[in-house]
Amino acid sequence: MKDINGAFVRGAEAYGRFLEVFIDGHWWVVGDYLENVGKCTKRLGANAYPHLYGNAQGGIFRGSSPAVSGFATPSKETGSRFDS
Protein backbone atom coordinates (compact mmCIF):
# COMPACT_ATOMS: atom_id res chain seq x y z
CA MET A 1 0.00 0.00 0.00
CA LYS A 2 2.16 2.80 -1.30
CA ASP A 3 -0.61 5.35 -1.85
CA ILE A 4 -2.92 5.42 1.15
CA ASN A 5 -4.09 8.98 0.52
CA GLY A 6 -7.87 9.15 0.30
CA ALA A 7 -8.46 5.57 1.44
CA PHE A 8 -11.07 6.65 3.96
CA VAL A 9 -12.82 8.88 1.43
CA ARG A 10 -12.88 6.14 -1.21
CA GLY A 11 -14.19 3.65 1.36
CA ALA A 12 -16.89 6.07 2.46
CA GLU A 13 -17.89 6.67 -1.17
CA ALA A 14 -18.11 2.95 -1.84
CA TYR A 15 -20.17 2.41 1.31
CA GLY A 16 -22.43 5.31 0.33
CA ARG A 17 -23.02 3.85 -3.14
CA PHE A 18 -23.80 0.45 -1.64
CA LEU A 19 -26.18 1.96 0.91
CA GLU A 20 -27.92 4.05 -1.76
CA VAL A 21 -28.54 1.02 -3.98
CA PHE A 22 -29.58 -1.09 -0.99
CA ILE A 23 -32.11 1.46 0.30
CA ASP A 24 -33.40 2.33 -3.16
CA GLY A 25 -33.94 -1.33 -3.97
CA HIS A 26 -35.85 -1.89 -0.75
CA TRP A 27 -38.04 1.16 -1.37
CA TRP A 28 -38.79 -0.21 -4.83
CA VAL A 29 -39.75 -3.66 -3.52
CA VAL A 30 -41.83 -2.30 -0.63
CA GLY A 31 -43.56 0.19 -2.93
CA ASP A 32 -44.50 -2.53 -5.42
CA TYR A 33 -45.76 -4.73 -2.59
CA LEU A 34 -47.95 -1.99 -1.12
CA GLU A 35 -49.28 -1.06 -4.55
CA ASN A 36 -50.31 -4.67 -5.23
CA VAL A 37 -51.88 -5.03 -1.78
CA GLY A 38 -53.91 -1.88 -2.43
CA LYS A 39 -55.10 -3.08 -5.83
CA CYS A 40 -56.05 -6.49 -4.46
CA THR A 41 -57.87 -4.94 -1.49
CA LYS A 42 -59.82 -2.64 -3.79
CA ARG A 43 -60.76 -5.56 -6.06
CA LEU A 44 -61.88 -7.70 -3.12
CA GLY A 45 -63.85 -4.77 -1.71
CA ALA A 46 -65.59 -4.17 -5.03
CA ASN A 47 -66.59 -7.83 -5.19
CA ALA A 48 -67.72 -8.06 -1.57
CA TYR A 49 -69.50 -4.67 -1.45
CA PRO A 50 -70.63 -3.84 -4.99
CA HIS A 51 -72.99 -1.09 -3.83
CA LEU A 52 -70.02 0.94 -2.58
CA TYR A 53 -68.40 0.89 -6.01
CA GLY A 54 -71.46 1.71 -8.12
CA ASN A 55 -72.34 -1.86 -9.07
CA ALA A 56 -75.51 -2.32 -7.03
CA GLN A 57 -77.34 -4.66 -9.40
CA GLY A 58 -76.09 -8.04 -10.48
CA GLY A 59 -74.34 -10.89 -8.77
CA ILE A 60 -71.72 -10.70 -6.10
CA PHE A 61 -68.92 -10.92 -8.66
CA ARG A 62 -68.95 -8.66 -11.68
CA GLY A 63 -70.03 -10.64 -14.71
CA SER A 64 -70.85 -13.69 -12.62
CA SER A 65 -74.03 -14.49 -14.56
CA PRO A 66 -74.49 -14.11 -18.33
CA ALA A 67 -78.17 -13.40 -17.74
CA VAL A 68 -77.30 -10.42 -15.53
CA SER A 69 -74.20 -9.12 -17.30
CA GLY A 70 -75.48 -9.63 -20.85
CA PHE A 71 -72.29 -11.29 -22.05
CA ALA A 72 -71.56 -14.83 -23.28
CA THR A 73 -74.63 -15.33 -25.44
CA PRO A 74 -74.24 -18.46 -27.60
CA SER A 75 -73.82 -17.88 -31.31
CA LYS A 76 -74.85 -21.42 -32.38
CA GLU A 77 -76.76 -24.39 -31.06
CA THR A 78 -74.66 -26.54 -28.71
CA GLY A 79 -77.28 -28.94 -27.34
CA SER A 80 -76.80 -31.47 -30.13
CA ARG A 81 -73.24 -32.18 -29.01
CA PHE A 82 -74.43 -33.72 -25.78
CA ASP A 83 -77.19 -35.91 -27.22
CA SER A 84 -76.28 -39.59 -27.44
Q: Tell me: the pLDDT tens digits for 23-58?
A: 888 888 999 999 999 888 888 887 777 777 766 554
pLDDT value at residue 48: 79
Whether this model's pTM surpasses 0.85: no
pLDDT of the residue at 65? 60
69, pLDDT greater than 70 = no
- 37 to 33, 44, 50: CA distances (angstroms): 6, 10, 19
Q: Rounding to the nearest 10 degrees, give the CA dihedral for residues 6, 12, 18, 19.
A: -170
pLDDT at 9 over 70: yes
Provide the pLDDT for residue 34: 92
